[in-house]
A and B are shown apart, each in its own frame.
Chain A
Amino acid sequence: MTAARRAHRARIYALEAWYQFLMVLREPAFAIPTLLFPLIFYLFFGVVLGAGSFSVAAPTYMLATYSVFGVMGPSLFGFGAGLAMERDSGVLLLKRTTPMPAAAYLLAKVAMAIAFGAAVVLGIFLLGAHGAGVVLYRWQWFALAGVVLAGVIPFCALGLAVGAWSRGRAAVAITNLVFLPMAMLSGLWIPITIFPAALQDVANALPAYHQAQLALKIIDMDGGQTTLLHISVLGVQSLALLAVAAFGFRRAGTGAVSIRPGGTS
């Protein structure tokens, strides 16, 4: 491949990402909940109620967990609901008829999730630091941001699996059904140690729990399991979810979807 062709290809990826970003930014049904909900939740539960809730250190705990929540939103909705709707409306077919590589479409969505996630994370960090007096070592601020943003990998895989298996409008409902209970059961709102033992066991099966534990480890507020365990579970779950998604696309047959917008069979 010549340098010119490589540059051309990079431009395609960059443009697809940029237009994906612009598209969701102009879509209030996506942008408002994914950007504003985590910030408003953190402002209310972490900053206003914060130190008076389950612990005086709650603002610091929630700083990490609401950031995970903030990255989970765009990842799940971009892939889960977004992909299903674009497939049903025929946009996906349209893109497949262009010479653009399929990977560009997927990477654009990942980039969009990172961009939105980063905006939410920064917002929560600023609220925590200046509203709730959260102080961390500099390495902790950076490591926390990095670990939390790495959450796009398992969450996008989960979104992709949901998107592959559900139709347009149903995908929104299904994504919400995954999103909110998982956030709660994974300890993103309050620590799971407050739950009954059976519910605590459920958390061990959820990617958001392991993602949150990795984030909490940086600020010494995790539950004491090993980093290796969390990374292993997240890795295995991500691969399994990608396989589920691939199987879903094959079953639905992306080619067949293409013929009649609105149909999936």
Chain B
Amino acid sequence: MNAGNRSGARSLWILAVAAGGFIGALATLPVPESSAAPGQEVPESRFAVVDVTLFDGGAFQRNQDVWIEDGRVRALGPRLRLPEDLPRVDGRGHTLLPGLIDGHVHTFGGTLNDALRFGVTSVLDQFTDPALLPGAKSARDDIARTGEADLFSAGMLATAPGGHGTQFGMAVEPLTEPASAAAWVRARKDEGSDWIKIISEDGAAYGGELQFPALDRETIGALIAAAHAEEMLAVVHVTGIERALEAVSQGADGLVHVWIDEVIAEEDARRVAEAGVFVVPTLSVIASMFGDSTGLRVLDETDEELVSPMQWGTLGDRSYLRTGTEDEAALENVRRLHEAGVRIVAGTDAPNPGTGAGISMHSELRLLARAGLASDAVLAAATSGAAEAFRIPERGRVAEGHLADLVLVRGDVESDVSRTTDIVTIWKDGYAIARESAATASAPVIAAAPDGPIVADFEDGIDAGFGSGWQVTTDAMNGGTSTAGLAVEAGALVVRGETKAGFPFPWAGAIWFTGPQPMQAADFSGRTTLRFRTRGDGRPYTVMLFGAGAAGTVPPTVPFTAGPEWAVVEIPLKSFATADPTIIAGLAFVTQAPLGAFAFELDDVEIR
């Protein structure tokens, strides 16, 4: 018993000494020199990020200090001798990236602000209103606090009359012959285009019934040659492999989509690499078309107040959704091109349906990783690679003299590229960016719909008693030649007209503006069904639902038939492929194909 006592006491002593030793040893482990933790009182303009894992545009390096002065990187390296008074951001456990560059966007609405709030400090626009270009040039040359990403753009695109690019309602000067290429390119240069974007597309890869008129081979060649004569890059929109390889052989500098119809053979991939052609695959838009949820997952991981209404709207818009697995072919093409040594540039094609400006860049990075690019290759595609491919100066790298466009991300991005969404701070020209969306203020005003039944019964003429009335809608607004007319006869709305060739997607019919102003949305929360009576000539008809904002995107549609006898049609609002089908600015009742004369009647149109 005594021996037991002594052993017991001794074991307690040993335990105490061991525990004390353990805690003491832990206390000797190295800790960082004191500096401000990331996320608190973010310094601007003149500061240093210290002891950070840096991706400089080419490779990851540990324990780097980056010194920012007057909106530019003044110095970088391990253990810099920094002035005593220089504010410091502690970068331990964080990764510092150059501001991201989205290699394929279309600028309208809040695109540039949405981009910047998600770490995309420069966008390479592949078709927008040329009127934006002069302002964009002076803004990007200015080192000042801004809420917008720098815009570099092709401006207007080159396409055939009625070809791809003309359906968005934006002014386009189409080409018909090689002889006009030189003058066309010079006009773009004068407008301020940074490079030339050429459409080589007939719609075949996406199996469209209505195929596009496309530029012929000679005109494309002449445009590329004219661009090179003006010392401009020529990039080509393709979606099929045949036109892609043709563009490569014609001397294109880059392709701004990856094709989905066929997987490229290894020797062809090598040929693309040898030609020095870069590819902007735009996997985000392709993936969303085929139902891949990467974009929505990123949205799900993001704080709500960071997401603008336009980002919600376009990301949730499923109007490009189709069945098929061609997105797998797109990924495989990227894998093979990358392995063959082709430069891949990250680009989203935002804000097309299924994508959101800025936010989709983070899904693009994940998709590039899925296509087999290592973390450094993925990030280079989104930074230095994009800048080099499009000859964008002072951006895409963290290097002495470059702009202080920086993104500080929590954690180790090298081991997991999906961490880029965990952004701590974004600096543009050295200024910290407010990440919360201010866009709610500038979002379209959505009026509340009144309680009770909302019916257009045409008993007292065409005025529905709610909304801003019924009007004719045809493709004439986009340059088509279809016609339509409205009349109220015997308490019903009669729509007569003719759809004619002249626009890739001819349509004609009637639209009911359901908000207080035409195309101002009203909120029909709680309503579930669109119900109406119709009769007509037996042709196929379509209801198109226009929501809030996202102008230029294709509205979701549901088909119906107007037969010889009056019949009631009920369409659940949720069958419209859009994020929130109870936000309605307009309901269009139209006919599309086949071309020709049409007549149908509507009555008792009700949102219930």
Contacts and interface: CB of A to CB of B under 8 A. Distances in A.
Nearest to A115: B18
B415 A11 contact: no
Q: Is the interface of A mostly helix, strand, loop or mixed?
A: helix
Contacts of A126: 25, 29
A244 to B, nearest CB: 31
B97 to A, nearest CB: 14
Given A54-B414, A145-B26, A11 B8 contact: yes
B468 to A, nearest CB: 46
Given A11-B8, A193-B416, A220-B410, A122 B62 contact: no
A191 interface: yes
Contacts of A61: 412, 415
Interface in B45-91: 51, 53, 60-63
A57 B92 contact: no
Contact of B92 (A11, A129, A135, A222): A135
Interface stretch (A12-20, A233-241, A256-264): A12-20
Contacts of B415: 54-55, 57-58, 61, 191, 193-194, 221
Interface in B1-50: 4-5, 7-8, 11-12, 14-15, 18, 22, 25-27, 29-32
Interface string A155-174: 00000000000000000000
Interface residues of B, number: 37
A44 interface: no
Contacts, number: 96
A11 B25 contact: no
Nearest to B26: A141
A182 interface: no
B412 A57 contact: yes
A118 interface: yes
Given A55-B60, A136-B31, A220-B410, A125 B26 contact: yes
Given A56-B62, A193-B418, A18 B7 contact: yes
A138 interface: yes
Most buried by A among B7, B301, B415: B415
Contacts of A136: 29-32, 92
B411 A221 contact: yes
Contacts of B93: 60, 219-221
Contact of A55 (B7, B27, B29, B412): B412
Contacts of A142: 26
Contacts of A125: 25-26, 29
Q: Is the interface of B mostly helix, strand, loop or mixed?
A: mixed
Nearest to A137: B31
Most buried by A among B11, B22, B29: B29
A181 interface: no
A54 to B, nearest CB: 5
B332 interface: no
Nearest to B37: A137
Contacts of B5: 11
A221 B53 CA distance: 13
Interface string A109-143: 00000010010001001100100011111100110
Most buried by B among A51, A55, A193: A55
B422 interface: yes
A11 B32 contact: no
Contacts of B414: 54-57
A14 B13 CA distance: 11
Contacts of B61: 56
B3 to A, nearest CB: 10
A222 B422 CA distance: 12
Contacts of B416: 191, 193, 223
A145 B26 CA distance: 8
Most buried by B among A61, A125, A221: A221
Contact of A18 (B14, B30, B53, B412): B14
B457 to A, nearest CB: 53
Contacts of B418: 193
Contacts of B15: 14
A141 B7 CA distance: 33
A56 B60 contact: yes
B31 A138 contact: yes
Contact of B4 (A11, A60, A141, A224): A11
Contacts of B375: 55
Nearest to B27: A138
Nearest to A197: B370
A70 B361 CA distance: 39
Nearest to B417: A193
Nearest to B90: A137
A133 B29 contact: no
Contacts of A219: 93
Interface in B407-454: 410-412, 414-416, 418-419, 422
Contacts of A60: 93, 412
Contacts of A137: 31-32, 92
Interface string B299-338: 0010000000000000000000000000000000000000
Contacts of B94: 220
A122 B53 CA distance: 25
Contacts of B412: 55, 57, 60-61, 221
A51 B412 CA distance: 12
Given A55-B375, A224-B301, 8 more contacts: A14-B12, A51-B62, A122-B22, A125-B26, A137-B32, A142-B26, A193-B416, A220-B93
13 contacts: A11-B8, A55-B375, A57-B415, A60-B93, A122-B22, A122-B25, A135-B31, A135-B32, A135-B92, A136-B32, A194-B415, A220-B93, A220-B94
User: Which 8 residue pairs of A and B lie closest in terms of their CB atoms, listed nearest first?
Assistant: A11-B8, A18-B11, A55-B414, A57-B412, A55-B415, A56-B62, A193-B416, A220-B93
